[in-house]
Structure 1
């Protein structure tokens, strides 16, 4: 089995995506559900870890959604032993289905906690190109902008010195299953992934096949190219929005609240698109909730900056209070959020 693992093209692609030199000698926390994608990633990473003298820790979080979930946890523990890796596990505080947002928060809170305790510099998850396609379609259907079209980011900072990485975004699920078949390596099947009551599953099992068969066989490649271009454009906007924020935004915090002051005179003649991106960046940097901040809310906020006839005081999702002070020279927009409204970051 080792020779097959070492020589397989998937291992080579993974190393191209994430060169061993970038993590040699370090501890890496590998999120493993027991499904084909994460099992294949764990197997391939174990080969590269051997080359780079890195330590892998397989981490499994049991949401307790299904009766079979305990079996999945046992499978991952056994896989860790097979690969010669340390194993850690956690589980949801209550049995039964949580909504997807709650589940995600619990899962990432667990992964961050384990990364801290194990001294891991990286947390890796097995998101694939197929997941990227589904995410983009889901966001288009729900309504999105450039940030949403750019899809799942390859990296994200979880905490100081800890980076979340998704090295398999260049690979498709079929490739991973082919790799496991060649290894003779089993994986766990989650039957809930076939349940078309969930929007994500309908996209995977109905919409994508329909688009490929009836409209465009290469639709997945087209969407991935769109995501790449959107991501590049988003990075450009973020860079300029950051420069704008340095000139126009002041952030303060005390024991009771976070306060943001925007100098409206610094925004004169700045294109609305860039101002709106600056506002989104403020929300991101302060970790204010953006789930309920749709285009209508962002435009309302933009109007408070650009149109003096709009109400001078409004409350936005997450209890962010926004007031326009026209008495100051050039005008100011003040955003305030009490700390009691701020939830722990996932």
Structure 2
């Protein structure tokens, strides 16, 4: 499907510039491409295949598809993706997982369980394949929906920043990258139509019992018609501003932790000077505490804002109680020291 002529398409050139500017994929890197068979992932695969053929890139691509066992059409979706990968002469791995059973076992929603299982699959395959990164097809409209969802649910600054274009995956030096994140759904569809691409339609994407679908099909149209026709752009600006502030606070937190860290920590732990930390605003202390936990390899996904606020209180009030943390860790005030172990 991908050919030399396609490499001159402006959309491909733009995505290539995004990859270079954000340093998402190095030349000749092995890349696992998550492909559901829907419009967005089919476009992502086509673009990466075109770029792989460009001089100096030479990406080594593997197609990955997870059958969530949630739809009658799931087997047909998997067959479509396998055939699609074959048309690009690319290897393809398909795995089936009973997401409904995982949700029942863990008490999670179907959406949350599906996301967890999907990233476990993609990350595991990347490690097996020796890949540098996993590429997924989230785009700007997905990010708008994510920011609005988090805003309504309640979130912190990191959540308001939306989805990062690149983030590390657990279990090794593998990045999750989103080359299409700056681009709107309309741009992606227009490219697919120019290239005469085929894709699968997932009827569950119209089911508004799922919160993400309700936001997409009900809430955002209502906000556009009743409040602000450019609410998408407003939310993207909010995410950009939150991301800038988040980056600044993360740098301040790293510097604050570095200055406060003490050499005489217990084995497998971290010790910090409480007086040094206490000179900073509480929000900066919370970011320093996050860096401390990251240094210890704590399960950051399970660390809440409340955990970090309680840890920051240790630097401000010497009488603050010890804080139990995920991963069997605890933070406590010991005189003028804060110890996490």
Question: TM class, shorter-chain normalised?
Answer: 0.7 to 0.9
Corresponding residue to 1:322 among 331, 336, 341: 331
The aligned counterpart of 1:143 is 154
The equivalences for 1:219-234 within 5 A come to 219-234=231-246
The 1-side partners of 2:137 and 2:266 are apart by: 37
The equivalences for 1:66-81 within 5 A come to 66-81=71-86
The 2-side partners of 1:319 and 1:214 are apart by: 49
Specify whether residues 64 and 282 from structure 1 end up closer, same or farther in structure 2 by C-alpha distance, changes over 3 A only.
Answer: farther
Contact residue 315 and residue 321 of structure 1 kept, 8 A: yes
The aligned counterpart of 2:28 is 25
The 1-side partners of 2:199 and 2:69 are apart by: 18
Specify whether residues 314 and 29 from structure 1 end up closer, same or farther in structure 2 by C-alpha distance, changes over 3 A only.
Answer: closer
Specify whether residues 207 and 249 from structure 1 end up closer, same or farther in structure 2 by C-alpha distance, changes over 3 A only.
Answer: farther
The equivalences for 1:10-159 within 5 A come to 10-19=11-20, 23-51=26-54, 52-92=57-97, 96=101, 98=103, 99=108, 100-158=111-169
Once the two structures are superposed, residues 142-170 of structure 1 have per-residue CA deviations (whole angstroms, 9 ceiling, x without a partner) of: 22222111111111123554322111011
The aligned counterpart of 2:178 is 166
Specify whether residues 95 and 298 from structure 1 end up closer, same or farther in structure 2 by C-alpha distance, changes over 3 A only.
Answer: closer
The 2-side partners of 1:193 and 1:156 are apart by: 26
Q: How big is the shift at 1:280?
A: 2.6
The aligned counterpart of 2:196 is 184
Which has the larger displacement, 160-169 or 206-215? 160-169
Contact residue 121 and residue 162 of structure 1 kept, 8 A: yes
The aligned counterpart of 1:343 is none
The answer to whether the aligner puts 1:259 opposite 2:282 as a matched pair is: no
Contact residue 30 and residue 131 of structure 2 kept, 8 A: yes
Q: How big is the shift at 1:289?
A: 4.5
Specify whether residues 4 and 196 from structure 1 end up closer, same or farther in structure 2 by C-alpha distance, changes over 3 A only.
Answer: farther
The 2-side partners of 1:316 and 1:54 are apart by: 41
Stretches of structure 2 that go unaligned for 5 or more consecutive residues are none
Specify whether residues 55 and 322 from structure 1 end up closer, same or farther in structure 2 by C-alpha distance, changes over 3 A only.
Answer: closer
The equivalences for 1:194-273 within 5 A come to 194-249=206-261, 258-273=268-283
Structural RMSD (CA): 2.6
Stretches of structure 1 that go unaligned for 5 or more consecutive residues are 337-346
Q: Matched residue pairs, number?
A: 327
Once the two structures are superposed, residues 271-318 of structure 1 have per-residue CA deviations (whole angstroms, 9 ceiling, x without a partner) of: 112101112333445232545624x443333223212343x3343466
Q: How big is the shift at 1:79?
A: 0.5
The 2-side partners of 1:317 and 1:23 are apart by: 34
Q: How big is the shift at 1:104?
A: 2.5
Contact residue 122 and residue 165 of structure 1 kept, 8 A: yes
User: 2:71 is paired with a residue of what secondary structure?
Assistant: coil
Which has the larger displacement, 109-118 or 76-85? 109-118
- Per the normalisation by structure 1, the TM-score is 0.85
The aligned counterpart of 1:341 is none
User: 2:269 is paired with a residue of what secondary structure?
Assistant: strand
